[in-house]
Amino acid sequence: MSEHAHTVNATVTGISALAGAAQPFAAMKAMCRFLNNEDVPFHALIEPAQDAIRDALAQTRDDFALVVHDWCMFQFNSHGSKADRHLRSHKSDLGYELGSALVVDAADGRPLGPMEFRLRSRGGMLSTRPGGAGFPPGHVDELADVMAAAESWKLPRKLVHVVDREADSVGHYRDWNAAGRLFLVRADASRNVIHQGRERKLNDVVAGLADRFTPAIDDDGEPVIVTLRSGVGRVKTAETPVILHRPARRNTGEKTAGGNKRQDEIAGEPLPLRMIVTRVVGELGTVHAEWRLFTNVPADQADADAIGLWYAHRWEIETYHKLLKSAGMNAEDWRQQEGEAFLRRLCIASLACLTVWHLQRDESAEAAKLRATLVRLSGRQMKHKVESTAPALLAGLERLLAIDDLMQRDDLAEILALARRVLPNLFPQRPG
């Protein structure tokens, strides 16, 4: 794992051999043998992360934990050596598609780690779940099994499954609710609902809430402020009950004469849900974001302010996938030729991410000093008032591990003296 605790670039896509390794090539060959060893099960590789998540949750103050679900595509269009690439939508959309279940602290929104991975390849679905996972027709169809598996994770908190608008499906809502799963999903603006006794479009319902938005307040009585890509603003929320009454639509796997996917309508019982509308409003009144959220979490267990913040925490899985793809691990430049090896490497790389996240959570003075040191070692420039970022800490951690490994085997003073003699312009003699 230490050799994975680093950021990778397109020309250095393998592990970084530490200074103590006899030969970088030997380290690379050893990793290849490990990643392609069929006797190394996926679930064993993710168990350390799962144990760390359980320990972290036991120390949180909230009654709930968020399980954030999302998917990302690792594009390998030009990697012809990967014969098992998944064709997602068209001939130039080739690669492996990762489904993640990321646990997030409901109280402060910090990511705790992945509890499960599912990797779609041409050969089927690879999974870290013991016993494997099926290959359902769509993303949302995967979630029922993931939610059922979550009951066996033995996490010491009530679980709320958080998903983006892709999961806005009345049929799935009914199934999840009947199974006792708590969920929070962003609603599609075009949906019709029963509100105050009559059918109305969701846009009309939201318009009627215009004068009911109130500022969200945190546990310390302070206004909640969040930072988005579109800007910084205060969180405001409004809530109203709605009923989903229309038939569900399920894809049949067949196509119509026009080439569209054929869907069947499935009637179901009307489903009452809470709708929370959350806005992030800037100083000048600009609405940076608006989320229309459906949830079955009881109102006496979580108010609208908490629900709105929970959805804001969903962004952590986007950041996590970015850390794997481009901001840290550059997984789209990995050269593993099979999905099995790729998934094993993802599990190992995630442990390095987990180490960095736990360092970010540590509020001690010593941890703050270590973070500052790692940022200095990374050479990264931080934004104003940003102490550290996960990619910067990964980059700094790589260099610190190399320094530690070097100092255990060599005399640093001798190396510096050698550098001053050979490269005097870079290592000038110090006075005295």
> 414 lies in a domain?
yes
239 close to 274: Cβ distance less than 8 angstroms: yes
Name which of 81-90, 152-161, 256-265 the model is least confident about. Answer: 256-265
Q: Are residues 99 and 204 in the same domain?
A: no
| Same-domain status, 153 and 244 | no
Task: Please indicate, yes or no, if residue 257 is contained in any of the structural domains.
Answer: no
pLDDT digits (tens, 9 = 90+) for 167-197: 999 999 999 999 999 999 999 888 899 999 9
**pLDDT, mean of residues 249-278:** 80
Instruction: Please tell me the predicted confidence (pLDDT) of residue 255.
Output: 67
Q: Tell me, yes or no, whether 159 lies in a domain.
A: yes
Residues 118-166 pLDDT 10s: 999 998 999 999 988 988 888 999 999 999 999 999 999 999 999 999 9
Mean pLDDT of 16-35: 54
Of 98-107, 263-272, 324-333, 356-365, give the lowest mean pLDDT range. 324-333
Q: What is the pTM of this model?
A: 0.86
Question: Looking at residues 367-383, what average pLDDT do you find?
Answer: 92
**Phi, psi (rounded to 5 degrees) for 351:** -65, -35
pLDDT at 71 over 80: yes
Poorest-pLDDT segment among 89-93, 147-151, 209-213, 237-241: 89-93
Is the pLDDT at 341 greater than 80? The verdict is yes
Range(s) of the domain holding residue 277: 186-252+262-300
Confidence of residue 20 (pLDDT cuts 50, 70, 90): very low
Flag whether pLDDT at 329 surpasses 80.
yes
276 plus 369 within the same structural domain: no
181 assigned to some structural domain: no
Is residue 245 located within the same domain as residue 331? no
Q: Which residue has the higher pLDDT, 424 or 230?
A: 424
**Looking at this protein, which amino acid is placed at residue 191?**
R
> Is 294 found in the same domain as 346?
no
Residue 151 lies in a domain: yes
Tens-digit pLDDT profile for residues 100-131:
999 999 988 889 999 999 999 998 999 999 98
Same domain, 148 and 204: no
pLDDT of residue 250: 75
Question: How far apart are alpha carbons 143 and 162 in whole angstroms?
Answer: 11
Domain count, the chain: 2
Given this model, what pLDDT does residue 13 score? 39
Domain presence at residue 3: yes
Asked if residue 1 has pLDDT above 60, the reply is no
Which pLDDT band holds residue 18 (cuts at 50, 70, 90)? very low
Query: pLDDT band at residue 87, thresholds of 50, 70 and 90?
Result: confident
Q: What are phi and psi of 333, to 5 degrees?
A: -105, 5
Contact criterion met (CB below 8 Å) for 69 and 101:
yes
In a domain, 175, yes or no: no
Over residues 196-221, the mean pLDDT reads 90
CA angle (398, 399, 405) in 5-degree steps:
90
Do 359 and 212 belong to one domain? no
pLDDT at 15: 42
Average pLDDT, the chain: 86
Asked whether residue 218 falls in the same domain as residue 243, the answer is yes
381 and 318 in one domain?
A: yes
**Per-residue confidence (pLDDT) for residue 26, from 0 to 100:** 53
**Is 176 inside a domain boundary?**
no
Distance between CA atoms of residues 142 and 62, nearest Å: 27
Distance (Å, rounded) from C-alpha 148 to C-alpha 125? 17
Q: Does position 11 have pLDDT exceeding 70, yes or no?
A: no
Average pLDDT over residues 411-420: 90
Q: What is the CA radius of gyration of the chain?
A: 24
Q: Is the domain of 408 the same as that of 350? A: yes
pLDDT tens-place string over residues 267-315:
889 999 999 999 999 888 888 889 999 999 999 999 999 999 999 899 8
Q: Are residues 268 and 320 in the same domain?
A: no
Residues 293 and 362 in one domain: no
Model pLDDT, residue 5: 45
What 3 state SS string does the chain have? CHHHCCCCECCECCCCCCCCCCCHHHHHHHHHHHHCCCCCCHHHHHHHHHHHHHHHHCCCCCCEEEEEEEEEEEECCCCCCCCCCEECCCCCCEEEEEEEEEEEECCCCCEEEEEEEEEEECCEEEECCCCCCCCCCCHHHHHHHHHHHHCCCCCCCEEEEEECHHHCCHHHHHHHHHCCCEEEEECCCCCEEEECCEEEEHHHHHHCCHHHCEECECCCCCECEEEECCEEEEEEEEEEEEEECCCEEEEEEEECCCCCEEEEEECCCCEEEEEEEEEEECCCCCEEEEEEEEECCCCCCCCHHHHHHHHHCCHHHHHHHHHHHCCCCCHHHCCCCCHHHHHHHHHHHHHHHHHHHHHHHCCCHHHHHHHHHHHHHHCCCCCCCCCCCHHHHHHHHHHHHHHHHHHHHCCHHHHHHHHHHHCCCCCCCCCC
